[in-house]
Structure 1
Amino acid sequence: MKKFADLTEREVLAVAIASEEEDSRIYMSFAEDLAERYPESAKLFEQMAEEEKGHRHMLLEMYEQRFGQNLPPIRRDNVKGFLRRRPIWLTKNLSLETIRKEAATMEFEAERFYIKAAEQTQDVGVRRLLADLAEAEKGHEHVAAKLTDEILTPDVREEEDRTRRRVFVLQYVQPGLAGLMDGSVSTLAPLFAAAFATHQNSQTFLVGLAASIGAGISMGFAEALSDDGSLTGRGSPWLRGLTCGLMTALGGLGHTMPYLVPDRWANAFWIATAIAGIVVFVELWAIAYIRARYMDTPFLQAVFQIVLGGVIVLGVGILIGAA
């Protein structure tokens, strides 16, 4: 790799031309990714892509006037410690906020590049062009804000907010809720069966710990392998799997942790069981609230389904353990 300070004017212009071309393609990739979910925001990135093409055209004209038509094969990736782009555009179904932040970072880095390039070049015309492009990149934030005000009307913003909420529910709430429900409910029977069979907190804790972690691993892999997100728009399968697995484990560990109460305490078993019962009550009502809040399920119906189901599983565990 070459140091930026070692680049010739010809190489600086070549890097700038390649950078503008790549940034234009990145913005078009963002536009394509947003087209179905946020069509108006996609138009914004299409216009930004066109601006980058205009910058490339100006740079290319300047280069051809000074050095001819042959561009040296150098890109910003060949310049040490400068202008590294994360390949975030290769990821589909990115959130709108993530894309906008990435675009802001790109504009800031481009502005910094042109400022340093203008300081390094000796030709007055090239320096003037690079300085103008630095100002243009700096002003892109204001251009983007203007385009946003023109394109993203209140009705469009409202629709995009609804879409963003649906995407959030699909990618995070659904897998997390599925995991929390499974972890909170499915581990009740083995935990309380072990508790009432042994009346020993240490043994009960080990059973609950094994059940929670095992359920978390199982649910995590099941969620990750069930859908790659390419058609449903549910996002990265491994992110969903991680969310589902963690919430499953947490759901089970919530009512397992009380059994860390030492067995040497007086009435240790009943103290731990009473605390676990309170935790179970809170967990079930939290699940009912999340279902009502994000899954458009009537609250009373969610309470009936979750709390009643949890109580039945809890009762089964107690009966089996006490038998």
Structure 2
Amino acid sequence: MKSLSELTEREILAVAIASEEEDGRIYLSFAEDLADRYPASAKVFEEMAEQEAGHRHALLALYQKRFGPNLPPIRREDVKGFLRRRPIWLTRNLPLDTVRKEAEVMEYESAHFYQKAAERASDVGVRKLLGDLAAAEQGHESLAVRLGATILTPGARSDEDVAYRRFFILQYVQPGLAGLMDGSVSTLAPLFAAAFATQNNWETFLVGLAASIGAGVSMGFAEALSDDGSLTGRGSPLLRGGVSGLMTALGGLGHTLPYLVPDTIPDHFKIATSIAAAVVFVELWAIAFIRARYMDTPFLQAVFQIVLGGAIVLAAGVLIGGA
């Protein structure tokens, strides 16, 4: 691996040509991934890929004029301190903001690298070449802004906002809500059964902790293995599984933590159970609100479904524990 100071002007041109080609393919990958969900933004990245190809052809023509047709097999990975692109383009169904930010970082980093390299270069010809490359990358960045203003019209942006909201619901809200519902409701019966059977806060806490963690792991794996997101557009299975598992565990821990009230305190069981019941009430109303806010369920209907179901499970746990 060579440092920048060890590269010849021919090698620097070869690295620049290879970099422009790779960045163009990255933009085309972004465009392909966004085409169905965000067609206007996909068009932006197609145009940016075309501009990268134009710069590559210009660099290649300059190289062939000065050094002939044979390019040395050197890439930016072969240069110490050169940019390393994160391979996020290999991930499908990326959020639009993630793609846009990655493209912005790509252009900024390229321009910044060439500027710093030009400042450190001792050869006048190399300094001029690196300065030209920095200017070209800055031109790419301003081009992206102009393309965005031209292609992403208010109507297109409105359509993409709707698509983004749908993507947000599919990837975050749905698995998170499913996990919160499962954790909040399914752990009620074992927790309160243990509470009324033992009337011991610490033992009840251990039961609730085990139920919450077990439910979180189970829901996380179930959501992650349900589909890979390629057909449903629900995004990364690992992300959905993580969201679902985390919210499941939190839903159960919410009414488990009150049983950390020490048994040495007078009326410890009543205090812990009262707090836990209040937490359950808040959890169920939060679930009803989320269903009404994001799932287009009438609020009163959501309240009836969630609160009634939770009350039934809670009652079952109390009855079983008190038997």
Q: Is the 8 A contact 1:9 1:121 kept in 2?
A: no
The whole-number CA distance in structure 1 between the counterparts of 2:184 and 2:117 is 59
The CA deviation at 1:118 is: 4.2
The whole-number CA distance in structure 1 between the counterparts of 2:155 and 2:129 is 40
Per the alignment, in what secondary structure is the counterpart of residue 2 of structure 1?
A: coil
Q: Is the 8 A contact 1:179 1:251 kept in 2?
A: yes
Q: 2:16 corresponds to which residue?
A: 16
1:90-111 Cα deviation digits (max 9, x unpaired):
1111111111111011101221
1:206-262 Cα deviation digits (max 9, x unpaired):
110010000001111111111111111111111111111110000000000000001
Amino acid at match of 1:248: T
The whole-number CA distance in structure 1 between the counterparts of 2:90 and 2:5 is 31
Amino acid at match of 2:157: R
The CA deviation at 1:65 is: 1.3
Q: Identity percentage over the alignment? A: 75
The CA deviation at 1:290 is: 0.6
The whole-number CA distance in structure 1 between the counterparts of 2:317 and 2:139 is 65
The whole-number CA distance in structure 2 between the counterparts of 1:242 and 1:131 is 45
Q: 1:284 corresponds to which residue?
A: 284
Q: 1:133 corresponds to which residue?
A: 133
| Structure 1 spans left out of the alignment, 5+ residues | none
Per the alignment, in what secondary structure is the counterpart of residue 80 of structure 1?
A: coil
1:199 aligns with 2:199: yes
CA RMSD across the alignment: 1.3
Q: Is the 8 A contact 2:171 2:235 kept in 1?
A: yes
1:61 aligns with 2:55: no
The CA deviation at 1:81 is: 1.9
The CA deviation at 1:127 is: 5.2
Q: Is the 8 A contact 1:55 1:133 kept in 2?
A: no
1:33-74 Cα deviation digits (max 9, x unpaired):
100000011010011001111111111111111111110000
The whole-number CA distance in structure 2 between the counterparts of 1:307 and 1:5 is 69
Q: 2:304 corresponds to which residue?
A: 304
Q: Is the 8 A contact 1:33 1:92 kept in 2?
A: yes
The whole-number CA distance in structure 1 between the counterparts of 2:60 and 2:315 is 76
Amino acid at match of 2:276: A
The CA deviation at 1:116 is: 4.2
The whole-number CA distance in structure 2 between the counterparts of 1:149 and 1:301 is 43
The whole-number CA distance in structure 1 between the counterparts of 2:312 and 2:91 is 43
Q: Is the 8 A contact 2:179 2:251 kept in 1?
A: yes
Amino acid at match of 1:300: L
TM-score normalised over the length of structure 2 = 0.97
The CA deviation at 1:129 is: 5.1
Q: Is the 8 A contact 1:194 1:207 kept in 2?
A: yes
Q: 2:248 corresponds to which residue?
A: 248
> Runs in 1 of length 4+ with deviation above 3 angstroms?
116-119, 121-124, 126-130
The whole-number CA distance in structure 1 between the counterparts of 2:28 and 2:166 is 24
The whole-number CA distance in structure 2 between the counterparts of 1:23 and 1:121 is 28
The whole-number CA distance in structure 2 between the counterparts of 1:114 and 1:57 is 19
TM-score normalised over the length of structure 1 = 0.97
Amino acid at match of 1:33: D
The whole-number CA distance in structure 1 between the counterparts of 2:112 and 2:8 is 18
Per the alignment, in what secondary structure is the counterpart of residue 70 of structure 2?
A: coil
Per the alignment, in what secondary structure is the counterpart of residue 37 of structure 2?
A: coil
Amino acid at match of 1:245: G
Amino acid at match of 2:36: E
